[in-house]
Structure 1
Amino acid sequence: MTLDHVARYVAPEAWQMSWVGSSVGRIAFPLFAGMVAWHACFNTRNPLRYARRILVIGLVAQLPYMLMPRSSDALIINICFTLSLGLVGGVWLSGLGQRLRQESTAVWRLGAEIATAVMVWWLAGTLTEYGHPGLLLIPAYMLAMQRLHRTDVTRDGVPVAALSCLPVLIIGGFMNSSLMAKSFTLGTCVLVLLLAAGTHRHIPEMIWQMPRRLWLSWYPGHFAVIALWLFLSGNI
């Protein structure tokens, strides 16, 4: 992510670093979305409070994010809003499945919920990074991870779990235009799904972990540093 932003906003054209954004820069969002979905499914008691924390980071980062030079003047809100809204959508979909199985739930109420959710998704997709596909990635990850986590290695279980991964790959394929960007995005999605399926158990535990305050402040902080550099160099 940081390499992508440095190559996009700081590096001069003479350095010819535009390839970074179409390669390693496309790893960040599907990786972040997978991390958020995993924590929402297995590591937090209150996913909506987790979504609020991500939203706070996005609010802090929005001002320096808006200072980045762009070819269009259209309002775009940063990736934390995409992650936060996507998580809210995933939680809502999980609850909707439970309510659909309850005979006492009023049909008109479910219809109103679905119509409202579709309208919010459509409006938010015009403002957020990665747009409409980006908002759907976390709900798709949550569906796949819950199925992968519950799957036993049987003749019937594995095909169903594999089928639940298809929405993630389809959505990932819609998020970028160039072949290189699609390849890196889909490759990252496949890696996240493999980790969720159990390969994470074979990865050794990290000896050093980034301090909590540092990784919470990294997203708005790196934008602030880039904005300061652009200001001092006379580019904003």
Structure 2
Amino acid sequence: MTVDPLVLIAEVDRATERLLRTAGTLDRSTLAEPSRLPGWSRGHVLTHLARSADALVNLLTGARTGQHVPAYASVAARDADIAAGADRPLDAHLDDLRGGAKRFAEACAAMPPEAWAAVVRSHRGDRVAAVLVWTRLRELEVHHVDLGAGYDPVDWPEGFAQRLLNEAAGDLATREDVPALTLRPTDAGRTLTIGPAGAGPTVAGPVHLLAGWLIGRSTGTGLTVTPNGPLPTPPDWI
């Protein structure tokens, strides 16, 4: 999958439409049911996706203007906004998601080419603004799964699943709390190593299953472990 933010914007639009179709099947009762994220209902997940779009708009605005614009006023304010919006009716959630998507698209369109290279500060550290479009795509696709409403890692586009697997494996490889692993996609891509080569088991399977398992969005059913043994439990990623 390309890293060009202007190309990825089209992927964000398609992911948004998929999310809206799923969200449109919910009602007041199912919105209040637990999502796959502990302590959050489906309404919490949808509200988070709307507010995170605005947070990325803030970062893009900072990149464009050269000023420091934080994603959120504070962690407490972020959490309060999500809690306050969780119990809204479906139409309010859908309008909020569409509004956030529109503001994000407009913020991207307003970026001059040189602003994409500006460094912004997020909760994951400093990064160039160009990665924020990928960040939005990842938020949409992963949290769509978190709704627990019929969209699963098997539904991820192939290019997205491949990039997600590479990103997660690369990040985990820099941490000391992650056991050594070799990840072997059976359908695409290259073998990925976490920790010293050959020091841990090899986990093999389709890219979407590996990616979903590695970031805690699937149980790992369908993956194989060599030498034969239990499937390792990956640590929390983000």
Using the size of structure 2 for normalisation, the TM-score is 0.27
Greater percentage in helix: 1
Q: Which has the larger radius of gyration?
A: 1
Which structure is higher in RCO with an 8 Å CA cutoff and minimum separation 6? Answer: 1
Instruction: Give the TM-score, by structure 1 length.
Output: 0.28
Which structure shows the bigger proportion of residues in strand conformation? 2
